[in-house]
Structure 1
Amino acid sequence: MTALGLLYPGHFAEDDYPRIEQLLGSDIRVDLVHTGAGEDTHRVAAPREPGSAELLAEGVEALRLAGVETVVWAGTGGFTHGWDGAQEQVRTLARLAGMPASATSFGFVHAAREMGVRRVAVGTAWPEDVTGPFADFLRAGGLEVTGLRSPGAASPAEVAAWDEEDVLTLARAADTSDAQAVLLPDTALHTAAHLGLLEKTLSKPVLTASQVTVWEGLRLADRRVNAPTLGSLFTREPLVQA
Protein backbone atom coordinates (compact mmCIF):
# COMPACT_ATOMS: atom_id res chain seq x y z
CA MET A 1 0.00 0.00 0.00
CA THR A 2 1.27 3.44 -0.98
CA ALA A 3 -0.36 6.25 1.00
CA LEU A 4 -0.33 9.75 -0.48
CA GLY A 5 -1.05 12.83 1.62
CA LEU A 6 -2.74 15.87 0.08
CA LEU A 7 -3.29 19.25 1.70
CA TYR A 8 -6.27 20.78 -0.06
CA PRO A 9 -7.59 24.33 0.40
CA GLY A 10 -11.35 24.55 0.83
CA HIS A 11 -14.10 22.13 -0.17
CA PHE A 12 -14.58 22.81 -3.87
CA ALA A 13 -13.44 19.85 -6.00
CA GLU A 14 -12.47 17.55 -3.13
CA ASP A 15 -14.56 14.68 -4.50
CA ASP A 16 -12.20 14.38 -7.48
CA TYR A 17 -9.63 12.71 -5.20
CA PRO A 18 -11.61 9.66 -4.02
CA ARG A 19 -12.70 9.25 -7.65
CA ILE A 20 -9.06 9.22 -8.76
CA GLU A 21 -8.16 6.81 -5.97
CA GLN A 22 -10.85 4.45 -7.26
CA LEU A 23 -9.75 4.82 -10.89
CA LEU A 24 -6.14 4.01 -10.02
CA GLY A 25 -7.35 0.48 -9.33
CA SER A 26 -4.32 -0.55 -7.30
CA ASP A 27 -2.89 -0.40 -3.80
CA ILE A 28 -2.90 3.40 -3.66
CA ARG A 29 -4.52 5.34 -0.83
CA VAL A 30 -5.17 9.08 -1.13
CA ASP A 31 -5.57 10.86 2.20
CA LEU A 32 -6.86 14.41 1.99
CA VAL A 33 -6.75 17.04 4.72
CA HIS A 34 -8.30 20.49 4.33
CA THR A 35 -6.18 23.52 5.09
CA GLY A 36 -8.99 26.12 5.15
CA ALA A 37 -10.67 27.85 2.26
CA GLY A 38 -8.99 31.23 2.47
CA GLU A 39 -10.92 33.84 0.51
CA ASP A 40 -13.63 32.62 -1.83
CA THR A 41 -12.38 34.68 -4.73
CA HIS A 42 -9.82 34.74 -7.52
CA ARG A 43 -7.18 37.42 -7.14
CA VAL A 44 -3.41 37.50 -6.85
CA ALA A 45 -3.26 37.75 -3.06
CA ALA A 46 -5.90 35.17 -2.27
CA PRO A 47 -4.02 31.95 -3.13
CA ARG A 48 -1.22 32.77 -0.68
CA GLU A 49 -3.34 32.62 2.45
CA PRO A 50 -4.39 28.91 2.43
CA GLY A 51 -0.73 27.98 1.79
CA SER A 52 0.67 29.78 4.82
CA ALA A 53 3.11 27.84 6.98
CA GLU A 54 0.66 27.90 9.89
CA LEU A 55 -2.15 26.25 7.94
CA LEU A 56 0.19 23.76 6.30
CA ALA A 57 1.56 22.75 9.69
CA GLU A 58 -1.94 22.05 11.01
CA GLY A 59 -2.71 19.74 8.10
CA VAL A 60 0.65 17.98 8.11
CA GLU A 61 0.15 16.60 11.61
CA ALA A 62 -3.06 14.82 10.58
CA LEU A 63 -1.38 13.33 7.52
CA ARG A 64 1.59 12.16 9.52
CA LEU A 65 -0.73 10.34 11.90
CA ALA A 66 -2.43 8.71 8.91
CA GLY A 67 0.91 7.18 7.89
CA VAL A 68 1.34 8.82 4.49
CA GLU A 69 4.65 8.55 2.61
CA THR A 70 4.55 11.79 0.63
CA VAL A 71 2.70 15.07 0.89
CA VAL A 72 1.56 17.45 -1.85
CA TRP A 73 0.14 20.93 -1.33
CA ALA A 74 -2.88 20.62 -3.63
CA GLY A 75 -3.18 24.33 -4.27
CA THR A 76 -1.56 26.08 -7.21
CA GLY A 77 -1.33 29.34 -5.27
CA GLY A 78 2.36 28.86 -4.48
CA PHE A 79 3.24 30.13 -7.95
CA THR A 80 2.25 33.65 -6.91
CA HIS A 81 5.51 33.74 -4.94
CA GLY A 82 7.51 33.03 -8.10
CA TRP A 83 9.66 29.94 -8.75
CA ASP A 84 12.05 30.55 -5.86
CA GLY A 85 9.27 31.43 -3.42
CA ALA A 86 7.31 28.32 -4.37
CA GLN A 87 10.41 26.19 -3.84
CA GLU A 88 10.82 27.67 -0.39
CA GLN A 89 7.19 26.85 0.40
CA VAL A 90 7.80 23.22 -0.60
CA ARG A 91 10.99 23.05 1.46
CA THR A 92 9.04 24.33 4.45
CA LEU A 93 6.35 21.71 3.84
CA ALA A 94 8.94 18.92 3.61
CA ARG A 95 10.56 20.08 6.83
CA LEU A 96 7.23 20.22 8.65
CA ALA A 97 6.16 16.81 7.35
CA GLY A 98 9.49 15.03 7.62
CA MET A 99 8.90 13.40 4.22
CA PRO A 100 9.16 14.18 0.49
CA ALA A 101 6.89 17.10 -0.43
CA SER A 102 5.82 19.07 -3.47
CA ALA A 103 2.97 21.22 -4.78
CA THR A 104 0.54 21.07 -7.67
CA SER A 105 2.31 23.91 -9.49
CA PHE A 106 5.54 21.93 -9.62
CA GLY A 107 3.53 18.85 -10.54
CA PHE A 108 2.50 20.50 -13.81
CA VAL A 109 6.12 21.21 -14.70
CA HIS A 110 7.32 17.74 -13.73
CA ALA A 111 4.46 16.03 -15.59
CA ALA A 112 5.06 18.03 -18.76
CA ARG A 113 8.77 17.25 -18.66
CA GLU A 114 8.18 13.54 -18.17
CA MET A 115 5.81 13.45 -21.13
CA GLY A 116 8.33 15.26 -23.31
CA VAL A 117 6.04 18.27 -23.57
CA ARG A 118 7.57 21.72 -23.92
CA ARG A 119 4.80 23.82 -25.49
CA VAL A 120 1.61 24.17 -23.46
CA ALA A 121 -1.64 26.11 -23.65
CA VAL A 122 -3.26 27.16 -20.38
CA GLY A 123 -6.94 27.56 -19.54
CA THR A 124 -7.96 28.81 -16.12
CA ALA A 125 -11.00 30.16 -14.33
CA TRP A 126 -8.83 32.93 -12.90
CA PRO A 127 -8.63 36.55 -14.02
CA GLU A 128 -5.63 37.52 -16.12
CA ASP A 129 -3.69 39.01 -13.19
CA VAL A 130 -3.59 35.54 -11.61
CA THR A 131 -3.13 33.51 -14.80
CA GLY A 132 -0.17 35.66 -15.86
CA PRO A 133 1.98 34.71 -12.84
CA PHE A 134 1.17 31.04 -13.43
CA ALA A 135 2.38 31.34 -17.02
CA ASP A 136 5.56 33.00 -15.72
CA PHE A 137 6.01 30.09 -13.30
CA LEU A 138 5.72 27.57 -16.14
CA ARG A 139 8.27 29.52 -18.19
CA ALA A 140 10.65 29.50 -15.22
CA GLY A 141 10.27 25.71 -15.28
CA GLY A 142 11.38 25.57 -18.90
CA LEU A 143 8.00 25.40 -20.64
CA GLU A 144 6.79 27.57 -23.50
CA VAL A 145 3.27 28.94 -23.06
CA THR A 146 1.57 29.10 -26.45
CA GLY A 147 -1.68 30.62 -25.23
CA LEU A 148 -3.69 31.69 -22.18
CA ARG A 149 -7.44 31.66 -21.69
CA SER A 150 -8.87 33.40 -18.61
CA PRO A 151 -12.63 33.91 -18.49
CA GLY A 152 -12.30 35.10 -14.87
CA ALA A 153 -14.99 33.25 -12.92
CA ALA A 154 -16.31 35.01 -9.84
CA SER A 155 -15.30 32.43 -7.25
CA PRO A 156 -13.95 28.89 -6.74
CA ALA A 157 -17.47 27.85 -5.68
CA GLU A 158 -18.77 28.90 -9.09
CA VAL A 159 -16.00 26.98 -10.84
CA ALA A 160 -16.72 23.87 -8.77
CA ALA A 161 -20.25 23.88 -10.17
CA TRP A 162 -19.10 23.76 -13.80
CA ASP A 163 -20.31 20.70 -15.71
CA GLU A 164 -18.61 18.65 -18.41
CA GLU A 165 -19.55 21.02 -21.20
CA ASP A 166 -18.18 24.01 -19.27
CA VAL A 167 -14.86 22.23 -18.78
CA LEU A 168 -14.74 21.24 -22.46
CA THR A 169 -15.49 24.81 -23.48
CA LEU A 170 -12.58 26.11 -21.40
CA ALA A 171 -10.19 23.49 -22.79
CA ARG A 172 -11.20 24.16 -26.40
CA ALA A 173 -10.83 27.91 -25.92
CA ALA A 174 -7.39 27.48 -24.38
CA ASP A 175 -5.99 25.11 -27.01
CA THR A 176 -3.66 26.35 -29.72
CA SER A 177 -2.49 24.48 -32.80
CA ASP A 178 1.15 24.48 -31.68
CA ALA A 179 0.48 23.37 -28.09
CA GLN A 180 1.63 19.84 -27.26
CA ALA A 181 -0.68 19.73 -24.23
CA VAL A 182 -3.41 21.77 -22.57
CA LEU A 183 -3.17 22.64 -18.87
CA LEU A 184 -6.23 23.31 -16.67
CA PRO A 185 -4.64 24.29 -13.33
CA ASP A 186 -7.60 25.44 -11.25
CA THR A 187 -7.85 23.20 -8.17
CA ALA A 188 -11.55 24.08 -7.78
CA LEU A 189 -12.36 22.53 -11.17
CA HIS A 190 -13.84 19.02 -11.36
CA THR A 191 -11.96 17.17 -14.10
CA ALA A 192 -11.38 13.56 -13.01
CA ALA A 193 -14.52 12.32 -14.75
CA HIS A 194 -13.79 14.21 -17.97
CA LEU A 195 -10.15 13.41 -18.78
CA GLY A 196 -10.89 10.81 -21.45
CA LEU A 197 -13.34 13.06 -23.26
CA LEU A 198 -11.03 16.08 -22.97
CA GLU A 199 -8.13 14.26 -24.60
CA LYS A 200 -10.33 12.67 -27.26
CA THR A 201 -11.83 16.06 -28.13
CA LEU A 202 -8.51 17.92 -28.31
CA SER A 203 -6.44 15.01 -29.67
CA LYS A 204 -3.61 15.81 -27.27
CA PRO A 205 -2.74 15.33 -23.59
CA VAL A 206 -4.67 17.36 -21.04
CA LEU A 207 -3.18 17.97 -17.60
CA THR A 208 -5.50 19.05 -14.80
CA ALA A 209 -4.97 20.03 -11.18
CA SER A 210 -6.45 17.02 -9.42
CA GLN A 211 -4.90 14.55 -11.85
CA VAL A 212 -1.44 16.15 -11.64
CA THR A 213 -1.60 16.47 -7.85
CA VAL A 214 -2.08 12.73 -7.35
CA TRP A 215 0.53 11.92 -10.01
CA GLU A 216 3.03 14.20 -8.25
CA GLY A 217 2.46 12.35 -4.99
CA LEU A 218 3.09 9.06 -6.77
CA ARG A 219 6.23 10.46 -8.38
CA LEU A 220 7.59 11.40 -4.97
CA ALA A 221 6.86 7.85 -3.79
CA ASP A 222 8.59 6.44 -6.90
CA ARG A 223 5.38 4.72 -8.04
CA ARG A 224 4.11 4.48 -11.60
CA VAL A 225 0.51 3.36 -12.10
CA ASN A 226 -1.13 2.60 -15.44
CA ALA A 227 -4.64 4.06 -15.39
CA PRO A 228 -5.85 4.99 -18.91
CA THR A 229 -9.06 6.59 -17.63
CA LEU A 230 -6.89 9.26 -16.00
CA GLY A 231 -5.42 10.41 -19.29
CA SER A 232 -2.12 10.14 -21.14
CA LEU A 233 -0.15 11.09 -18.04
CA PHE A 234 -1.09 7.74 -16.48
CA THR A 235 -0.38 5.62 -19.55
CA ARG A 236 3.23 6.53 -20.24
CA GLU A 237 6.48 5.12 -18.97
CA PRO A 238 8.83 7.77 -17.55
CA LEU A 239 11.29 9.16 -20.07
CA VAL A 240 14.89 7.99 -19.78
CA GLN A 241 17.03 11.09 -19.45
CA ALA A 242 20.34 11.01 -21.30
Structure 2
Amino acid sequence: MTALGFLYPGHFAEDDYPRIEQLLGSDIRVDLVHTDIGEDAHRVDALLERGSAGRLATGVQELRHAGAEAVVWACTSGSFVHGWDGAQEQVRTLAVAAGMPASSTSFAFVHAARELGVRRVAIGATYPEDVAQLFAQFLRSDGVDIVSVSSSGVITAAEAATWGEPELLALARNSDHPDAEALLLPDTALHTAAHIPALEKELGKPVLTANQVTVWEALRLADRRVNAPELGALFTREPIVQA
Protein backbone atom coordinates (compact mmCIF):
# COMPACT_ATOMS: atom_id res chain seq x y z
CA MET A 1 0.00 0.00 0.00
CA THR A 2 1.30 3.43 -0.99
CA ALA A 3 -0.11 6.24 1.16
CA LEU A 4 -0.09 9.74 -0.30
CA GLY A 5 -0.63 12.84 1.83
CA PHE A 6 -2.14 16.15 0.74
CA LEU A 7 -2.67 19.47 2.49
CA TYR A 8 -5.71 21.02 0.83
CA PRO A 9 -6.86 24.58 1.62
CA GLY A 10 -10.50 24.83 2.68
CA HIS A 11 -13.37 22.84 1.18
CA PHE A 12 -13.89 23.37 -2.54
CA ALA A 13 -12.98 20.56 -4.97
CA GLU A 14 -11.64 18.03 -2.45
CA ASP A 15 -13.97 15.36 -3.85
CA ASP A 16 -11.59 15.15 -6.82
CA TYR A 17 -9.17 13.24 -4.56
CA PRO A 18 -11.31 10.21 -3.66
CA ARG A 19 -12.36 10.08 -7.31
CA ILE A 20 -8.73 9.98 -8.39
CA GLU A 21 -7.97 7.39 -5.70
CA GLN A 22 -10.61 5.09 -7.21
CA LEU A 23 -9.01 5.43 -10.63
CA LEU A 24 -5.50 4.67 -9.39
CA GLY A 25 -6.08 1.21 -7.99
CA SER A 26 -6.59 -0.54 -4.68
CA ASP A 27 -2.99 -0.35 -3.46
CA ILE A 28 -2.84 3.48 -3.35
CA ARG A 29 -4.41 5.50 -0.55
CA VAL A 30 -5.06 9.22 -0.74
CA ASP A 31 -5.09 11.02 2.63
CA LEU A 32 -6.39 14.59 2.62
CA VAL A 33 -6.02 17.09 5.46
CA HIS A 34 -7.72 20.47 5.17
CA THR A 35 -5.79 23.59 6.10
CA ASP A 36 -7.29 26.88 7.22
CA ILE A 37 -7.79 28.98 4.11
CA GLY A 38 -7.95 32.31 5.90
CA GLU A 39 -9.57 34.84 3.57
CA ASP A 40 -11.00 33.27 0.40
CA ALA A 41 -9.55 35.68 -2.12
CA HIS A 42 -7.35 35.31 -5.19
CA ARG A 43 -5.35 38.31 -3.98
CA VAL A 44 -1.60 38.28 -3.43
CA ASP A 45 -1.59 39.15 0.27
CA ALA A 46 -4.29 36.57 1.07
CA LEU A 47 -2.49 33.91 -0.97
CA LEU A 48 0.83 34.57 0.77
CA GLU A 49 -0.85 34.02 4.13
CA ARG A 50 -2.67 30.91 2.88
CA GLY A 51 0.63 29.20 2.18
CA SER A 52 2.46 30.37 5.28
CA ALA A 53 4.55 27.86 7.21
CA GLY A 54 2.29 28.03 10.27
CA ARG A 55 -0.85 27.16 8.35
CA LEU A 56 0.81 24.22 6.59
CA ALA A 57 2.45 22.87 9.74
CA THR A 58 -0.94 22.48 11.42
CA GLY A 59 -1.99 19.56 9.21
CA VAL A 60 1.35 17.79 8.92
CA GLN A 61 1.12 15.78 12.11
CA GLU A 62 -2.16 14.19 11.04
CA LEU A 63 -0.61 13.03 7.77
CA ARG A 64 2.38 11.56 9.63
CA HIS A 65 0.05 9.56 11.89
CA ALA A 66 -1.81 8.32 8.80
CA GLY A 67 1.44 6.86 7.46
CA ALA A 68 1.81 9.09 4.42
CA GLU A 69 5.00 8.52 2.42
CA ALA A 70 4.99 11.92 0.70
CA VAL A 71 3.10 15.17 1.12
CA VAL A 72 2.03 17.78 -1.43
CA TRP A 73 0.70 21.25 -0.66
CA ALA A 74 -2.38 21.08 -2.89
CA CYS A 75 -2.62 24.75 -3.72
CA THR A 76 -1.18 26.33 -6.85
CA SER A 77 -1.71 30.00 -6.09
CA GLY A 78 -0.62 29.54 -2.48
CA SER A 79 2.75 28.33 -3.72
CA PHE A 80 3.69 30.19 -6.93
CA VAL A 81 2.74 33.53 -5.37
CA HIS A 82 5.92 33.18 -3.29
CA GLY A 83 8.05 33.14 -6.45
CA TRP A 84 10.40 30.34 -7.51
CA ASP A 85 12.83 30.70 -4.61
CA GLY A 86 10.08 31.28 -2.05
CA ALA A 87 8.14 28.25 -3.27
CA GLN A 88 11.27 26.10 -2.96
CA GLU A 89 11.77 27.31 0.60
CA GLN A 90 8.09 26.58 1.32
CA VAL A 91 8.56 22.99 0.17
CA ARG A 92 11.82 22.56 2.10
CA THR A 93 10.17 23.80 5.27
CA LEU A 94 7.23 21.47 4.71
CA ALA A 95 9.52 18.47 4.14
CA VAL A 96 11.38 19.15 7.41
CA ALA A 97 8.13 19.55 9.35
CA ALA A 98 6.63 16.43 7.81
CA GLY A 99 9.73 14.27 7.89
CA MET A 100 9.00 13.05 4.36
CA PRO A 101 9.45 14.17 0.73
CA ALA A 102 7.32 17.22 -0.04
CA SER A 103 6.26 19.34 -2.98
CA SER A 104 3.48 21.67 -4.09
CA THR A 105 1.03 21.90 -6.98
CA SER A 106 3.09 24.63 -8.63
CA PHE A 107 6.14 22.37 -8.86
CA ALA A 108 3.83 19.52 -9.89
CA PHE A 109 2.96 21.48 -13.05
CA VAL A 110 6.66 21.99 -13.78
CA HIS A 111 7.48 18.31 -13.33
CA ALA A 112 4.40 17.14 -15.25
CA ALA A 113 5.33 19.32 -18.23
CA ARG A 114 8.81 17.81 -18.17
CA GLU A 115 7.29 14.32 -17.98
CA LEU A 116 5.29 14.95 -21.15
CA GLY A 117 8.21 16.68 -22.85
CA VAL A 118 6.24 19.87 -23.52
CA ARG A 119 7.90 23.28 -23.37
CA ARG A 120 5.26 25.51 -25.00
CA VAL A 121 2.07 25.81 -22.98
CA ALA A 122 -1.09 27.87 -22.71
CA ILE A 123 -2.57 28.81 -19.33
CA GLY A 124 -6.29 28.90 -18.59
CA ALA A 125 -6.49 30.57 -15.17
CA THR A 126 -9.56 31.29 -13.12
CA TYR A 127 -7.54 33.94 -11.27
CA PRO A 128 -7.44 37.71 -11.78
CA GLU A 129 -4.89 38.83 -14.36
CA ASP A 130 -2.12 39.82 -11.93
CA VAL A 131 -2.22 36.43 -10.17
CA ALA A 132 -2.38 34.54 -13.48
CA GLN A 133 0.74 36.37 -14.64
CA LEU A 134 2.57 35.32 -11.48
CA PHE A 135 1.91 31.69 -12.40
CA ALA A 136 3.28 32.32 -15.89
CA GLN A 137 6.35 33.97 -14.37
CA PHE A 138 6.86 30.97 -12.08
CA LEU A 139 6.81 28.55 -15.02
CA ARG A 140 9.19 30.72 -17.02
CA SER A 141 11.69 30.34 -14.17
CA ASP A 142 12.05 26.72 -15.32
CA GLY A 143 12.31 27.65 -18.99
CA VAL A 144 8.70 26.90 -19.93
CA ASP A 145 7.57 28.93 -22.95
CA ILE A 146 4.20 30.53 -22.17
CA VAL A 147 2.47 31.15 -25.49
CA SER A 148 -0.73 32.59 -23.98
CA VAL A 149 -2.29 33.41 -20.60
CA SER A 150 -6.05 33.60 -20.16
CA SER A 151 -7.55 35.07 -17.00
CA SER A 152 -11.19 34.58 -15.98
CA GLY A 153 -11.02 37.11 -13.15
CA VAL A 154 -12.60 34.82 -10.56
CA ILE A 155 -12.06 36.34 -7.14
CA THR A 156 -12.78 33.38 -4.84
CA ALA A 157 -12.15 29.64 -4.75
CA ALA A 158 -15.80 29.21 -3.75
CA GLU A 159 -16.90 30.58 -7.13
CA ALA A 160 -14.43 28.41 -9.06
CA ALA A 161 -15.75 25.35 -7.22
CA THR A 162 -19.20 25.87 -8.75
CA TRP A 163 -17.92 25.36 -12.30
CA GLY A 164 -18.90 22.16 -14.11
CA GLU A 165 -17.97 20.59 -17.44
CA PRO A 166 -19.60 23.30 -19.62
CA GLU A 167 -17.59 26.03 -17.90
CA LEU A 168 -14.39 23.95 -18.03
CA LEU A 169 -14.79 23.26 -21.74
CA ALA A 170 -15.43 26.94 -22.39
CA LEU A 171 -12.33 27.86 -20.37
CA ALA A 172 -10.25 25.32 -22.31
CA ARG A 173 -11.46 26.53 -25.71
CA ASN A 174 -10.93 30.18 -24.84
CA SER A 175 -7.49 29.58 -23.35
CA ASP A 176 -5.94 27.23 -25.90
CA HIS A 177 -3.41 28.45 -28.46
CA PRO A 178 -2.41 26.69 -31.71
CA ASP A 179 1.28 26.86 -30.72
CA ALA A 180 0.71 25.32 -27.29
CA GLU A 181 1.72 21.70 -26.80
CA ALA A 182 -0.45 21.47 -23.67
CA LEU A 183 -3.02 23.50 -21.76
CA LEU A 184 -2.61 24.12 -18.02
CA LEU A 185 -5.58 24.77 -15.72
CA PRO A 186 -3.96 25.75 -12.40
CA ASP A 187 -6.79 26.13 -9.85
CA THR A 188 -7.21 23.29 -7.29
CA ALA A 189 -10.70 24.68 -6.54
CA LEU A 190 -11.87 23.48 -9.96
CA HIS A 191 -13.52 20.06 -10.19
CA THR A 192 -11.57 18.53 -13.07
CA ALA A 193 -10.93 14.85 -12.26
CA ALA A 194 -14.08 13.65 -14.05
CA HIS A 195 -13.58 15.84 -17.11
CA ILE A 196 -9.96 15.41 -18.26
CA PRO A 197 -10.74 12.97 -21.13
CA ALA A 198 -13.41 15.36 -22.46
CA LEU A 199 -11.03 18.30 -22.22
CA GLU A 200 -8.21 16.48 -24.03
CA LYS A 201 -10.60 15.22 -26.70
CA GLU A 202 -11.89 18.75 -27.24
CA LEU A 203 -8.41 20.24 -27.68
CA GLY A 204 -6.55 17.27 -29.15
CA LYS A 205 -3.61 17.77 -26.77
CA PRO A 206 -2.67 17.07 -23.14
CA VAL A 207 -4.51 19.06 -20.50
CA LEU A 208 -2.86 19.38 -17.10
CA THR A 209 -5.19 20.26 -14.24
CA ALA A 210 -4.28 21.18 -10.69
CA ASN A 211 -5.68 18.25 -8.72
CA GLN A 212 -4.54 15.77 -11.38
CA VAL A 213 -0.91 16.94 -11.33
CA THR A 214 -0.96 17.20 -7.53
CA VAL A 215 -1.70 13.49 -7.15
CA TRP A 216 0.75 12.60 -9.92
CA GLU A 217 3.43 14.60 -8.07
CA ALA A 218 2.81 12.65 -4.87
CA LEU A 219 3.15 9.41 -6.81
CA ARG A 220 6.41 10.69 -8.29
CA LEU A 221 7.74 11.47 -4.81
CA ALA A 222 6.74 7.98 -3.68
CA ASP A 223 8.46 6.49 -6.75
CA ARG A 224 5.22 5.03 -8.12
CA ARG A 225 4.04 5.03 -11.72
CA VAL A 226 0.38 4.27 -12.42
CA ASN A 227 -1.39 3.84 -15.74
CA ALA A 228 -4.81 5.50 -15.47
CA PRO A 229 -6.14 6.56 -18.89
CA GLU A 230 -9.17 8.29 -17.37
CA LEU A 231 -6.78 10.79 -15.82
CA GLY A 232 -5.41 11.88 -19.18
CA ALA A 233 -2.14 11.81 -21.10
CA LEU A 234 -0.05 12.45 -17.99
CA PHE A 235 -1.06 9.05 -16.64
CA THR A 236 -0.67 7.09 -19.87
CA ARG A 237 2.49 8.24 -21.62
CA GLU A 238 5.97 6.91 -21.13
CA PRO A 239 8.33 9.50 -19.65
CA ILE A 240 10.31 11.62 -22.11
CA VAL A 241 14.07 11.38 -21.71
CA GLN A 242 15.36 14.94 -21.90
CA ALA A 243 18.53 15.51 -23.90
TM-score, length basis structure 1: 0.98
Following TM superposition, by how much is the alpha carbon of 1:224 offset from its aligned partner in structure 2, in angstroms? 0.3
SS of the aligned residue for 2:44 comes to: coil
Q: What does residue 51 of structure 1 align with?
A: 51
* Runs (5+) with no aligned partner, structure 1: none
| Structure-2 residue corresponding to 1:12 | 12
Note if 1:111 corresponds to 2:112.
yes
Q: Following the alignment from structure 1 to structure 2, what is the Cα–Cα distance between the partners of residues 28 and 94?
A: 21
Show the counterpart of 1:230.
231
Under a length normalisation based on structure 2, what TM-score does the superposition of the two structures give?
Answer: 0.98
Q: CA deviation at 1:240?
A: 3.0
> 1:29-108, aligned counterparts within 5 Å?
29-76=29-76, 77-108=78-109
Give yes or no for the alignment of 1:149 onto 2:169. Answer: no
Deviations 1:134-172 (A, max 9, x none): 000000011000101101113111110011000111111
For 2:154 and 2:83, the matched residues in 1 are separated by 23
User: How do 1:169-184 residues align onto structure 2 when only pairs under 5 Å count?
Assistant: 169-184=170-185
Q: After superposition, what is the alpha-carbon deviation per residue over 1:104-161, rounded to whole angstroms, capped at 9, x for unaligned?
A: 0000000001110000000111000100110000000110001011011131111100
User: 1:219 Cα shift?
Assistant: 0.3
Structure 2 SS opposite 1:126: coil
Q: Deviations over 1:77-108 (max 9, x none)?
A: 21111100100000000000011000000000
For 1:67, the aligned partner's letter is G
Extract unaligned runs of 5+ from structure 2: none
What is the aligned partner in structure 2 of residue 196 from structure 1? 197
Of 172-181 and 38-47, deviating more is 38-47
After superposition, give the CA deviation of every residue in 1:17-41 in whole Å (9 maximum; x if it has no partner).
Answer: 0000011124110000011122112
User: Cα RMSD over matched residues?
Assistant: 0.9
Q: Equivalents in 1 of 2:202, 2:117: separation in Å? A: 21
How far, CA to CA, are the matches of 1:100 and 1:239 in structure 2?
A: 23
SS in 2 for 1:40: coil
Amino acid at match of 1:16: D
Q: What number of residue pairs does the alignment pair up? A: 242
Deviations 1:179-211 (A, max 9, x none): 000000011100000000000000000000000
1:43 CA displacement: 1.3
